[in-house]
Structure 1
Amino acid sequence: MDTVKLLSLLRTSSGSKSLTRAKLIHQKIVIQGLQNNIALCKSLINLYFSCQNYDSAKLVFRTIENPLDLSLWNGVLAAYTKNYMFSEALELFDRLLQNPFLKPTSFTYPSVLKACGGLGRVGYGKFIHTHLIKTGFGLDVVVSSSLVGMYAKCDKFDSAIKVFDEMFERDVASWNTVISCYYQDGQAEKALKLFEKMRESGFEPNSVTLTTVISSCSRLLDLERGKEIHKEYVKDGFVFDSYVSSALVDMYGKCGCLEMAREIFEQTPVKSVVSWNSMIAAYSSKGDSKSCIELFRSMHAEGIKPTVTTLSSIIMSSSRSAQLEHGKFMHGYIIRNRMQSDIFINSSLIDLYFKCGHVGSAENVFDKMVKTNVVSWNVMISGYVTVGDYFKALSIYEDMKETSVKPDAVTFTSILSACSQLAALEKGKEIHKYIVESELESNEIVMGALLDMYAKCGAVDQTFNIFQKLPEKDLVSWTSMITAYGSHGQALEALKLFHEMLQINVKPDNVTFLAVLSACSHAGLVYEGTLKQQ
């Protein structure tokens, strides 16, 4: 059998992905002494890769006596990165650099940079970047775009944006990467501005662009802009794939337009698990656990396996609506199917059981958890506070410290609430010291909880000291301080503070007025109290 016939056979076999056929052809190539024929080796390597027989593909490449065809090296590099074999790709690239007869070209670098991004090897990526500047390959649009992608994958967003800004020529992939950089970095507004700039520059967005842009609208809860983008591309006849559809469902759901979210969801021909999750999350945000369960059953009937996100959303919706039956149904499903529960699922289950008054069930879930994460401890502390078992909250806080899990802002906020309810001043002071050590004195929520604790424990001086240190004073902190003064007979100080609050345009509510009236009542200032009512 000659070379032409073998090549034809290899090309027709690539679609079948038959490993047996690949090995038979390989045998014929070796028997006929054609194992160094570059064209045959390229096709054979591709066939082995399509059959996912990577060892045989490597063997073919290694047995070529003198592989001096650079397109062969580039093809193997591309195959490695396509199959997520990033370490092998970089090893092969190192061998290429050591070859005295071959030099990388613009077709080599995209694969290598993708491997660097996949492994998070930004140091190696920077080395290649320097090499690209020296050789001039950095001017190639595909290479530059790959460089932007590498830095983005390594979470070096500033470097990715810098390379993008310096590009002489751009492609849609490079625009998409930088838009995604801004989105991932929490700068959704900048992502949308760059999207507008992309369109002004004459580039047509693709589904990747639209997915990120609609997700940015979702994060900003910018319904009008999301609607505008959706409407425009419907009018232009853009075919939305499952990713764009899922982003639209998510955006409308988060912005409270459940009917629109459901309409898009129903119109999506092929619903991925992401689409189902987006729709379930939309109902979950409204606490509609009944609709979540109905969707879950439909999803199951269509053969789509739920993910951790699916389960977490449904349990959270059950918790929000205090629907014990729905939460228990999901808990049972997890146990029956022997699914691994993550920290979010377990935390949602604990929250659900506390809200429904099933403290024992919450404790059972907690006891079975791997308690290395602060989240699991926090949900128990806040749960005990919710049901009014403040001593248990303090007890579990001590257990948490003994296991060397460091409390965070959420921990302190919850435990200070327990101290407030028990008027446990000494314990509160101890926690205050820990807050200082943890450098959380600039945290507005923690300091507000500390202020409330001192106020309820009757420590007026400490309350005022905390009040002065607050990074920002809100209505609750002003009211707490007024209450503290009033409950200890310092009505004039309470009234003075009330006037200061009005002068800086903080609008009092009913609780504030009650605090002022109470202060006047304790001090016998009937006339002043009457004035406040008017």
Structure 2
Amino acid sequence: MDTTKLLSLLRTSISSKSLLKGKLIHQKVVTLGLQNNIALCKNLINFYFSCHYYHYAKLIFKTLEDSLDLSLWNGLMAAYAKNYMFIEALEVFDRLVLHPFLKPDSYTYPSLLKACGGLGRVGYGQLIHTQLIRTGFVLDVVVASSLVGMYAKCKRFDYGIKVFDEMSERDVASWNTVISCYYQEGQAEKALELFGKMRDSGFEPNSVTLTMVISSCARLLDLERGKEIHEKFVKEGIAFDSYVGSALVDMYGKCGCLEMAREVFDQMPVKNVVAWNALIAGYSSKCDSKSCIELFRRMNEEGVKPTLTTMSCILMSCSRSAKLEHGYVTVGDYFKALALYGDMKESGVKPDAITFTSVLPACSQLAALEKGKEIHKYIAESELETNEIVMGALLDMYAKCGAVDEAFRLENPLSISTMWFSHRKRLLEEDG
């Protein structure tokens, strides 16, 4: 069996992630005495990384550590960085620097900078930056773009923007990184300004760009600009993925344009949890608890697991709705609140302080003491017995259910009674 055939079989094993098949090929490589063949070793390393057998990949490299093929070193660093094994990537670089006959090249630095960014090692990154200036590799667009990304990951946006401004040549990745820098710094207007310059420079935005600029419009509540960007990329035939779709739903929802939010949402072929949450949040902001619950039910039916954000939006919507209607809430709404709490638990979402303070009043109004006691157990398990608002709601429930003795059986009666009175005072102040 020749090298070409073995390489072909190895590549098939990488795509299929067939560990048994790959190991048999590795065994054949050793049997034929081809364990020092660089091309085969590179593919074996990639194969073991694809199967998460990192130790085997490292052993293959160690047998060739004295190899003068720099691409082998770069390939291992890239594989480590891609798999978030940043410390290991730095260790390979440290050994490379000490190699008597090899020097890092432009393919070495992107992986190294990714590792520095992933570990938040801005000091190390700055040393590399100095080296890149000295060697001239900073002029390479991919290296410079990686440098911008490293500074952004380390939250040193000022340095990242400076590197970008000094780049003689740019790519879409570098534009995206700097737009992200401005967005994360809270300068959404600047992010949109840079997007305009990107388009003027002839660069086509990708889904990362569009997600960021639409999110910037959402942050500024700039419906007109967001709509304009949306219409423009639809007209130009730029396809958008679930991330862009989610950002659009969020933007339209935050700007109060729920018809458009729903339209985009309905058009999405794949609806991720972010899109569901964005639409629920949009209806929640309008205190439309009916639509929130309807969406929540659809979400469950379609097998999308809700998050704490989902539940918080629904509970906040119900809470706001109840407050707006003042004491006109029907008994049925309290049953819905308890049913929603049950759905939440069945969905595997862990209740938090907001959940408990929202559901306990339903127990109070329905005098559902047993249900209240059950919730009390979950509060204890969630270690929320030191939360004043939760404990205030719990004590209020016991009092309204006529079980004052139950309340004072808790561990610290003095502090708890203080919580209760402060909770009642807060409620009276809210009622005006």
TM-score by structure 1 length? 0.68
| CA distance 1:298–1:384, change in 2 (3 Å) | same
Encode CA deviations 1:400-426: one digit per residue, 9 max, x unaligned: 9x9xxxxxxxxxxxx79959x89xxxx
Residue 292 of structure 1 deviates from its aligned partner by 1.8
- Check conservation: 2:258, 2:283, Cα contact below 8 A: yes
- Check conservation: 2:109, 2:143, Cα contact below 8 A: yes
Gap regions ≥5 residues in structure 2: 323-332, 401-406
Q: 2-side partners of 1:34 and 1:86: how far apart?
A: 30
| CA distance 1:232–1:336, change in 2 (3 Å) | closer
Encode CA deviations 1:465-493: one digit per residue, 9 max, x unaligned: xxxxxxxxxxxxxxxxxxxxxxxxxxxxx
Q: 1-side partners of 2:131 and 2:31: how far apart?
A: 43
Name the counterpart of 1:21.
21
| CA distance 1:153–1:97, change in 2 (3 Å) | same
Q: 2-side partners of 1:18 and 1:49: how far apart?
A: 12
Residue 108 of structure 1 deviates from its aligned partner by 0.8
Residue 338 of structure 1 deviates from its aligned partner by 4.5
Residue 145 of structure 1 deviates from its aligned partner by 0.8
| CA distance 1:32–1:73, change in 2 (3 Å) | same
Residue 52 of structure 1 deviates from its aligned partner by 2.2
Q: 2-side partners of 1:187 and 1:416: how far apart?
A: 39
Q: Secondary structure at the match of 2:44?
A: helix
**Higher relative contact order at CA 8 Å, sep ≥6: structure 1 or structure 2?**
2
Encode CA deviations 1:43-87: one digit per residue, 9 max, x unaligned: 111122222222221121112262221111111111111111112
Task: Give the superposed CA RMSD.
Answer: 3.2
Q: 1-side partners of 2:188 and 2:66: how far apart?
A: 52
Name the counterpart of 2:146.
146
* AA matched with 1:370: E
- Check conservation: 1:45, 1:57, Cα contact below 8 A: yes
Residue 241 of structure 1 deviates from its aligned partner by 0.9
Q: 1-side partners of 2:237 and 2:180: how far apart?
A: 24
Name the counterpart of 1:97.
97
- Check conservation: 2:113, 2:150, Cα contact below 8 A: yes
| CA distance 1:378–1:131, change in 2 (3 Å) | farther
- Check conservation: 2:45, 2:60, Cα contact below 8 A: yes
Gap regions ≥5 residues in structure 1: 403-414, 423-534
Name the counterpart of 1:252.
252
- Check conservation: 2:357, 2:389, Cα contact below 8 A: no
Q: Secondary structure at the match of 2:16?
A: coil
Aligned length: 398
Question: Percent of pairs identical after alignment?
Answer: 64
Residue 370 of structure 1 deviates from its aligned partner by 3.4
Name the counterpart of 1:340.
350
- Check conservation: 1:289, 1:326, Cα contact below 8 A: no
1:234 maps onto 2:234 in alignment: yes
| CA distance 1:98–1:294, change in 2 (3 Å) | same
Name the counterpart of 2:334.
324
* AA matched with 2:7: L
Residue 384 of structure 1 deviates from its aligned partner by 9.9
Encode CA deviations 1:191-211: one digit per residue, 9 max, x unaligned: 111111222222211111110
1:362-381 matches, within 5 Å, as 364=376, 367-371=380-384, 376-377=387-388
The structure having more radius of gyration, on CA atoms, is 1
Residue 267 of structure 1 deviates from its aligned partner by 0.5
Encode CA deviations 1:167-191: one digit per residue, 9 max, x unaligned: 2221111111111111112221111
Q: 2-side partners of 1:169 and 1:381: how far apart?
A: 61
Q: 1-side partners of 2:65 and 2:85: how far apart?
A: 24
Name the counterpart of 2:133.
133
- Check conservation: 1:315, 1:349, Cα contact below 8 A: no
1:45-124 matches, within 5 Å, as 45-64=45-64, 66-124=66-124
| CA distance 1:372–1:66, change in 2 (3 Å) | farther
- Check conservation: 1:287, 1:320, Cα contact below 8 A: yes
Q: 2-side partners of 1:383 and 1:335: how far apart?
A: 19
1:208 maps onto 2:208 in alignment: yes
Q: 1-side partners of 2:363 and 2:200: how far apart?
A: 54
- Check conservation: 2:356, 2:390, Cα contact below 8 A: no
Encode CA deviations 1:410-466: one digit per residue, 9 max, x unaligned: xxxxx79959x89xxxxxxxxxxxxxxxxxxxxxxxxxxxxxxxxxxxxxxxxxxxx
| CA distance 1:187–1:95, change in 2 (3 Å) | same
1:218 maps onto 2:214 in alignment: no
| CA distance 1:261–1:383, change in 2 (3 Å) | farther
